[in-house]
Structure 1
Amino acid sequence: MKDSMDNSIIDKLQNFYIQLISQFGHCTGVSPSRFRLLHKLYHVDEINQTTLQKELQIDSAAITRHLKQLEGDGIVTRRNNPDDNRFTLVRLTELGRQEIVAYREEKILFMAQLLQGFSEEEQKLFSHMIERMRNNITKGRNEE
């Protein structure tokens, strides 16, 4: 019985994740990973691309793809670090700052829809449970 419950939970989480990612992108106009990247850039003046990649835990090829596309769209600028040409510095453009504000507003609407009908207590409990699961995963990786 426990095994089927475990499988049911993981199946539900996987299905939820797929639907969540799809709907988040549809509602906000940007993928969750790109949203995280832009949100991070919004809170810094400029950041080393490698530092950004490590902080967001995105592989280096993916961060480069994201940034090249965003640069092509005029959302970010990249330049060589004048103190060390081996590193690339990234920053949001003014257009990028305007875009992230709009994305954040859409995220608020999306979250209101997602959590509709859940009490504040249920939301806190759910958040706590997710954090516990995340900690369990982290703890399990550290024990390996």
Structure 2
Amino acid sequence: MSNTCSTHLQIFYQLQTLNKNLACKFESCLGSSPSRIEILQQLYRNQEISQKELQKMVKIDNAAVTRHLKQLEAANMVTRRKKADDNRITLVCLTEDGRNAIRESLQEKEQFIAQTFKDFSEEELQIFLEMLSKIGANIASVEIKISK
């Protein structure tokens, strides 16, 4: 029992450490956080979308999306405007600078991913993906207790 618990803890801490290292290396290699790259990629795939739709696609909180978009707008990567027939809706799209930046980052992202998984066989990657999916499903099923 304690050996299994110890193994579970080792895996848990290893996953946490890998997640931190992955995000840090990713950001230093691509010059942006994974969240910001995901925002740019979603905008690249869509001509113009509402900020609310974008937030749902990237699955980060609205305040974080707003922060990212303000910084991207200041860097001339995106434009935001109110929808003509509904001022409550903010529409977002990439500028030409943003499109160029995301094209470059897509190549860098592919190289980063290839380097990360370079010593894995296709079979190992498939098994790893299945394990990660199981972990994801288990995490999703965890009930959160709210203390009052």
The TM-score by the shorter chain falls in which range?
Answer: over 0.9
- What secondary structure is seen at the aligned counterpart in 2 of 1:52? helix
After TM superposition, give the deviation of residue 141 of structure 1 in Å. Answer: 4.9
Does the CA-based 8 Å contact 1:46-1:90 persist in structure 2? yes
Report what 1:108 is aligned to: 110
Question: Does residue 1:61 correspond to 2:60, yes or no?
Answer: no
Q: Does 1 or 2 have the higher relative contact order (CA < 8 Å, sep 6+)?
A: 1
TM-score by length of 2: 0.91
SS at match of 2:15: helix
Mapping of 1:1-144 within 5 angstroms? Answer: 1-141=3-143
User: If the length of structure 1 is used for normalisation, what is the TM-score?
Assistant: 0.93
For these two proteins, the number of residue pairs brought into alignment is 143
Query: Unpaired segments of 5 or more residues in structure 2?
Result: none
Cα pair distance change 1:35/1:122, threshold 3 Å: same
Across the aligned residues of Structure 1 and Structure 2, the Cα RMSD in angstroms comes to: 1.6
* Consecutive unaligned residues in structure 1, runs of 5 or more: none
Off by >3 Å, runs of 4+ in structure 1: 139-142
> Percent of counterpart pairs with the same letter?
45
State the 1:132 CA deviation.
2.1
1:128 CA displacement: 2.0
